Amino acid sequence: MSIKFLSKISFAFVTVALTASPVFAENVIRWASQGDALTSDPHAANESPTHSASRKVYDVLYYNDKDMKMTPWLATGHKLVNAKTWEFSLRKGVKFHDGSNFTADDVKFSIERALSPTSDLKGDISSIQEVKVINSHTVQIITKEPNPIMRNQLTNVFMMSKAWSEKHKVTQPQDRAGKQETYAVRHAMGTGPFKLELREPDVKTILVKNNNWWGLKTYPHQVDKIIYTPIANQATRVAALLSGELDFILDPPLQDLDRIKNTAGLHLEQTAQVRTIFLGMNQGVKELLTSNVKGKNPLSDQRVRQAMYQAINVEAIKKKVMRGYAVPAGLITPPAVHGYTEALNKRRPYDVSAAKKLLTEAGYPSGFSIQLDCPNNRYINDEGICQAVVGMLGKIGIKVNLSAIPKTLHFPKIKNRETDFYMLGWGVSSLDSHYVFNYLVKGADKGWNGTGFADADIDATILEIGKEVDFPKRDKMIAKVWQKLRDNVNYLPIHHQVIVWAMSDKLDIPIVADDGVRFIYTKFKK
Amino acid sequence: MIENQSSLAKINDLAFRIVDSDLFYSFSRNPIVVVSAVITFVFIIAATFAPWLAPHNPFDPASLDLMEASTPPVWLEDGMSKFMLGTDDQGRDILSTIMFGSRVSLIVGFSAVLFSVFVGVGSGLLAGYLGGWLDTVIMRLADVQLAIPAILIALMINGVVAILLPPQLQHEMAIYVLILAIGVSDWPRYARVTRGSVLVERNKEYVAAAQVIGVHPLFIMLRHVLPNIMGPVLVMATIGLALAIITEATLSFLGVGVPPTTPSLGTMIRVGNNYLFSGEWWITFFPCTALVTLVLAVNLMGDWLRDALNPKLR
Amino acid sequence: MIAYIIQRAFQALAVMIVVSLVSFMLFNFVGDPVDNMVGQEATYEERVAMRDNLGLNDPFLVQFARFVGNAVKGEFGISYRIQRPVADLIAERMPATLELVIASAFLSVLLGIPMGVYTGIRPNSWLSRSILVGSLVGVTLPTFVIGILLIYIFSVGLGVLPSFGRGEAVQLGWWSTGFLTVTGWKAIIMPSVTLALFQMTIILRLVRSEMLEVMRTDYIKFARARGLPNQIINFGHAFKNTLVPVITIVGLNLGSLIAFSIITETVFQWPGMGFLFIQAVGFADIPVMAAYLVMVAVVFVSINLFVDILYFVVDPRLRADKTVAAGN
């Protein structure tokens, strides 16, 4: 660590001390959430809190706005030159924080950077073959196959300055096997609405208003400064909000919402998140790892899976475990995703006697035993949901042993097929069903589809959906896959997560379904 | 018959000796200790016979009704008469869960402390008294282990066992793994203190005298040195019991404790902790009270035992 | 004396090698870091490539040799989670943890020893009894409950102390200190009390039990017979004799304060090494975990060495027979 850096930090502290004085009557937002962004490098981590942080400093070509509607941002328009070539015209007069101009070269550079080997985004945009600069404000993106959702896939590809990156030797994202920290890990310079003033990972991040932001006329926010502190312990986080040390928390615990609501000067915002919680059952193996049934797999029988489905009282989970903050699900994808319909989301009725009957028909009148694997630090009240499920399945004779472990241990179990029965939640950044099918329905030996479900016809349809540019035809295929999934009961859907933000009454920040804060929509109340 | 009579006489004799002993005299003269003993006894009975005494069986998930979750104690509004101290977030009766949970905590705590006392004192005696390479090996081993925080040792043991055990067994073995993990993580403290005391003791005249008259070293250790170090070890063991129970809670906090469907006192407190701000205080308050009462009673008894057993204090 | 210290230093080195081996092995059990690094959409091939890139596919011994080689140079690699050199991270976080530990150690010694002496001298007074019972209640509550209770009372209820963070820090060279600002002092009160409570109880009980024993010895009786003032007997004679075990425990507890700070730091969002470590565990951030363990081991081993040397100074009986203390 260099002395130069340290002197910068101490300088930053002095400036904080000076500028924090209330004389200026700035509009400051002090906020917290459970975990910090992993890095300031916008291409180095494909993770929602990191994207959310990047979105404040960096801009994208297409922006998911507060209603999750894709909005032209640094790109002002597009045309499809041919099935594999997209042409984008770029916004003019956009300047980086250092005063330099944003041009087509920066777009080409940024997309290529996001495709480089050390980038974490390369999987999302792997369909891109080449980026061509047509003129200073026009670029073409050429894809390997026709790609109907190219623009959606660009909503997390942040635009960096080519000159700045070259100057600071950050033309590639941080190599995790490397030795030196790259400059972009704690520094950021984009065209976005806020400038990064101080970044101490896990401790504090300070952003200040970019007065030259191109979007200020359309989005005239009054936020002068944002101070972010991650607070991992949920009780501490709530305490800091209640005591007035914070103005806003992203993830208040559900049980404390009533108290927050009833505290003078605080209010809540809520919306349905683009994430559904469900349970997967391994129907593909000959014999389960953790069951007392030997020689056959009870989960291979559709009647058993349906019995388990109907034994789960999702309304009770919603009311007691989620305190009302959940939307019961009949489908493993939420309403915001293309392909979702109300009809598909309708649940089979909760009916314990019908479930028992189905189990008896399947040849398990007295049930069987199985282990449920569950994360305990990933989803809202994940362990509580699993415990409730254990009790409910117990009522139809299925003896469930619960193993609740941290997410780092849980997810590999699914991907390596070391679990019979597991909890998973799936968010959909592209807001399209194909994304869900690709990971959760398509047959695979490894990866996220731990159900062992593999159907040649369905797999072929999924492949088609990925390439089909005729939307009505594509929609029909999507509906077909969903119907198959529903009839076959691959998964036991629980609910669509509802997110709640808690904030001071002096603020009004509209809540966004992807749980990422858009401070540009903030309104202050005097 | 004759045999029976003689054994009866033996028991009589034993009872007489107990009642007549200094220990019992000191015990009966100390009301706090008597109360502590009664409390500990009540806990042990309640825990041992929980399946027959408790109004509900909170460890049977099928018997729970989620819709009855977070019911307040019976004397508050919305309280239900069948749940005297209310229910937790899953609808478990708090009173029954405390009884079943004490059982888990007591088994884990006592077994882990016994394990580390046995290993720690044994190795400390050997190291301190015999010295030489054995001393070096044992104490370096203790150093190595002390160089890693106990929580991490426990995490590691849990991790290794998770890999070695087949998935079906993990659930049943969880409690034994915990005992082993906590027990192993704590032995060096006993070893070091024991060795330290032995180093001082063994230079004393009485040991030298015993050696001179040809008493076997093992006998010297057990008969002469051991009683002299039991004081500090007992103090440590009483605190160790509290520590073991709290370590168990902390491990649950990190997600590697007993399964959440069979909560211990520590797990109950950990879960209830999240409900402190929301007004559902009973979920954590009663288990906390139970834990404090239990550990306080054990500690007070340990204190008294320490003073009573110490020949220097008679 | 010098030979003895050299010998102990060699042993300490051996200890360090074993610790690094253990800590290195430990991480094969905490989950696959690649899962957290490549995002949930990554393909199998991308995962394999990532493992190769990180050297996770090399034979165990090769990985370990690389680890030790780099560790000696102070290089622990780049954190998988926040992508910064681990040595920098540790250097930045260490002051916060050490300040917390020092504050707690002071609190526990400054309160624990006098209370222990008092309860040892007057075991039957009501004050002694309440101190003992009070300390036991404190030690019985798990750390995270005490922390939350303090926050509940002093932050939410009274609004006098901050619930998280360490206030404003001032840079003194490479050391960032919270002791130079009012907010820094306010911020350290609750975390250090939480952390100190447990250690204080242990010290208190130990001093008390040692005092009780010493007070009954003949030479204290002689001292009384000689008509020495109580203060000289209590502190000059009795207390001095309790020092050996007290030093052992205080020394050992310094290390465990660092370990226990993991939980305290999590509750109070204290930006120290323990918090860094627990974040790393949740993410299977192997370089950070390995570096943290090695760091903690260095501290522990040095303290042990120091305590061993202090034995010489404090207990003349050991000085007389060097071989006894050295264990040979």
DSSP string, A23-67: GG---EEEEEESS--S-S-TTS---HHHHHHHHHHS-BSEEE-TT
Chain B hits for C23, Cβ within 8 Å? 148
A13 contacts on C by Cβ (under 8 Å): 168-171
Of A123 and A448, the structure prediction assigns the larger pLDDT to A448
CB C276 to CB A408 under 8 A?
no
Range of the domain at B265: 42-313
Token output for A58: 């960096």
Nearest to C44 among A245, A439, A446 (CB): A446
Percent of chain A with pLDDT over 70: 94
User: Considering the domain boundaries, does residue B5 fall inside one?
Assistant: no
Domain boundary among A142, A162, A177: A177
If asked whether residues A277 and A172 sit together in one domain, one would say no
Query: Residue A518: inside a domain, yes or no?
Result: no
The answer to whether C142 contacts B200, with C-beta atoms less than 8 Å apart, is: no
Residue A265 belongs to some domain of the structure: no
Reported as a single tens digit per residue, the pLDDT across A255-307 is: 899 889 998 899 999 988 889 999 999 998 999 988 889 889 999 999 999 99
Task: Determine, yes or no, domain membership for A507.
Answer: no
CA pair distance C71, C298, nearest whole angstrom: 12
Q: Give me the CATH number covering residue A82.
A: 3.90.76.10
Residue B131 forms contact with C (CB below 8 Å): yes
Helix axes A352-361, A302-311, angle to 10 degrees: 160
Residue-averaged pLDDT of chain C: 77
Tell me if B13 is assigned to some domain: no
Nearest CB to A404 within list B170, B260, B278: B260
- Closest Cβ opposite residue C283 in set A182, A235, A408: A408
What per-residue confidence (pLDDT) applies to A404? 82
Tell me whether residue B226 is in a domain. Answer: yes
Closest Cβ opposite residue B274 in set A234, A259, A316:
A234
Q: Give the CATH number, domain containing residue A445.
A: 3.10.105.10
Domain with A93, as residue range(s), is 42-49+56-177
**CA distance, residue A387 to nearest chain B CA (Å):** 7
By Cβ distance, the residue of C42, C82, C164 closest to A236 is C164
* Interface B-C: count of C-beta contacts within 8 A: 151
Query: DSSP character for A182?
Result: P
Q: Identify the CA nearest to A226 among candidates A26, A516, A8.
A: A26
Average pLDDT score over residue span A50-67: 91
Kindly give, in sequence order, each residue whose CB lies less than 8 Å from that of residue A377, ignoring residues fewer than 6 positions away.
A406, A407, B255, C282
List the one residue out of A266, A271, A250 whose CA is nearest residue A36. Answer: A250
Residue B232: inside a domain? yes
Predicted confidence at residue C327, as pLDDT, reads: 36
User: What is the spatial distance between Cα A179 and Cα C85, in angstroms, rounded to a whole number?
Assistant: 7
Q: How far apart are CA A460 and CA A443, in angstroms?
A: 11
- pLDDT score of A158: 94
Smallest CA–CA distance, residue B191 to chain C, in Å, is 12
Q: Which residue in C151, C163, C282 is closest to A406 by CB distance?
A: C282
Residue-wise pLDDT for A455-509, tens only, equals 899 999 998 888 887 889 999 999 999 999 999 999 999 999 999 999 999 999 9
Predicted confidence (pLDDT) at residue A13 exceeds the cutoff of 50:
no
Same domain, A281 and A166: no
Residue with tokens 């069903």: A433
Judge whether B190 and B117 are in contact, CB under 8 Å.
yes
For residue A5, what pLDDT is reported?
45
C22 in B contact zone (CB under 8 Å): yes
A403 and B278 in contact by Cβ < 8 A? Answer: no
Q: Please identify, among A115, A147, A177, the residue that sits at the C-terminal boundary of a domain.
A: A177
Contact between chains at C30 and A409 (C-beta distance less than 8 A): yes
Tell me whether residues C11 and B232 touch, CB distance under 8 A.
Answer: no
Q: Give the residue from C194, C109, C91 showing the smallest Cα distance to C145.
A: C194
From the centroid of its chain, how far is CA C64? Answer: 26
C297 chain-B contacts, CB cut-off 8 A: 147-148
Distance from A189 to chain B by nearest Cα, in Å? 38
Residues of chain C in contact with residue B300, where contact means CB-CB under 8 angstroms, are: 133, 136
Does any domain span residue B299?
yes
Interface membership of B89 toward C (CB under 8 Å): no
Nearest partner of B255 among A47, C281, C256, judged by Cα: C281
Give the minimum alpha-carbon distance from A217 to chain C in angstroms, rounded to a whole number: 35
The span from the CA of B118 to the CA of C275, in Å, is 34
Total domains present in chain A: 2
Residues in chain A: 526
Radius of gyration of chain C (CA): 24
| SS3 call for C269 | coil
Check: CB of residue A178 under 8 Å from CB of residue A127.
Answer: no
Per-residue pLDDT, A241: 92
C-beta atoms of B66 and A400 within 8 A: no
| pLDDT score of C74 more than 90 | no
What residues of A are in contact with residue C43 (Cβ under 8 Å)? 123
Mean pLDDT of C99-122: 87
Residue C54 and residue A152 in contact, taking contact as beta carbons nearer than 8 Å: no
Q: How distant is the Cα of B272 from the closest Cα of chain C, in angstroms? A: 10
Q: What is the pLDDT of residue A14?
A: 43
Spatial neighbors of B133 by CB under 8 A, at least 6 apart, are none
CATH number at B131 reads: 1.10.3720.10
Residue A353 lies in a domain: yes
Report the percentage of chain A scoring pLDDT > 90: 52
Question: Which of A30, A9, A245, A22 minimizes the C-alpha distance to C177?
Answer: A9
Q: Is B5 exposed, middle or buried (0-12, 13-18, 19+ CB in 10 A)?
A: exposed
- According to DSSP, the residues that pair with A498 across neighbouring strands are A272
Dihedrals φ, ψ of A33, to 5°? -145, 180
CA distance A107 to A157: 10
User: Which residue among C14, C142, C205 places its CB closest to the CB of B269?
Assistant: C142
Contact C141 B303 (CB under 8 A): no
Segment among B200-209, C33-42, C111-120 with least mean pLDDT: C33-42
Q: Give first-to-last CA distance, chain A, whole Å.
A: 44
Q: Residues C112, C131: contact at Cβ < 8 Å? A: no
Quick one: DSSP state of residue C105?
A: H
Confidence of residue C29 (pLDDT cuts 50, 70, 90): low
| Residue A188 DSSP code | -
Tell me how far apart the alpha carbons of residues A128 and A125 are, in angstroms, rounded to a whole number: 6
Cβ neighbors of C258 (< 8 A, separation 6 or more) are B149, C97, C101, C273, C274, C296, C299
* Rounded distance between C-alpha atoms, residue C141 and residue C237, angstroms: 36
> B270 vs C301: CB contact, 8 Å cut-off?
no
The verdict on residue B162 lying in a domain is yes
Polymer length of chain B: 314
CA atoms within 13 A on the CB side of A166: 6
The residue of chain A with its CA nearest to that of B167 is A290
Task: Return per-residue pLDDT of chain B as tens, 314 residues.
Answer: 455 556 667 777 777 766 666 667 777 777 888 888 899 889 889 888 888 888 888 888 778 888 888 888 888 888 778 888 888 888 888 999 999 988 888 888 889 999 999 999 999 888 888 878 888 888 878 876 766 666 667 766 766 666 566 666 766 777 888 888 888 888 888 888 888 878 877 777 877 888 888 888 777 777 777 877 777 787 778 778 877 877 777 776 665 677 777 888 878 887 888 888 888 888 888 988 888 888 788 777 777 776 676 655 54
Q: Which residue has the higher pLDDT, C217 or B1?
A: C217
Per-residue confidence (pLDDT) for residue B158, from 0 to 100: 66
Smallest Cα distance from C119 to chain A, Å: 36
Q: Considering only CB atoms, which chain B residues are within 8 Å of A241?
A: none
Single out the residue in A141, A160, A177 at which a domain terminates: A177
Note whether C11 contacts B140, CB cutoff 8 Å.
yes
A273: Cα within 13 Å, side-chain hemisphere: 25
Is there a domain that residue B132 lies in? yes
Angle of CA points C300, C301, C307, to nearest 5° = 90
Does residue B35 fall inside a structural domain?
no
- Would you mind telling me the total number of residues written for chain C in this entry? 328
Q: Which of B57, B60, B71, B89 to mutate: most A Cβ within 10 Å?
A: B89
Question: Distance from A239 to chain C by nearest Cα, in Å?
Answer: 6
pLDDT given at position A7: 47
Q: Would you say A372 and A418 are in contact if contact means Cβ atoms under 8 Å apart?
A: no
Please give the angle made by the CA atoms of A149, A151 and A152, to the nearest 5 degrees: 65
Domain count across chain B: 1
Q: Work out the pLDDT band at C92, boundaries 50, 70, 90.
A: confident
> In which band, very low, low, confident or very high, does the pLDDT at C323 lie, cut at 50, 70 and 90?
very low
Q: What is the ipTM of this complex?
A: 0.76
Beta strands in chain B (DSSP E): none
φ/ψ of A502, rounded to 5, equals -120, 135
**Phi, psi at B309, each rounded to 5°:** -80, -20
CA distance C24 to chain A (A): 17
Specify if A493 maps to a domain.
Answer: yes
Separation between Cα atoms, residue B190 and residue B124, nearest integer Å: 7
Residue A220 near residue A209 (C-beta atoms within 8 A): no
A408 and C31 within 8 Å at the Cβ level: the answer is: yes
Residue B105 pLDDT:
85
Residues 6+ apart with CB under 8 A from A267: A261, A502, A503, A505
Q: Are residues A151 and A288 in the same domain?
A: no
| pLDDT averaged over every residue in chain A | 87
Q: Residue B3: is it exposed, middle or buried by C-beta count within 10 angstroms (0-12/13-18/19+)? A: exposed
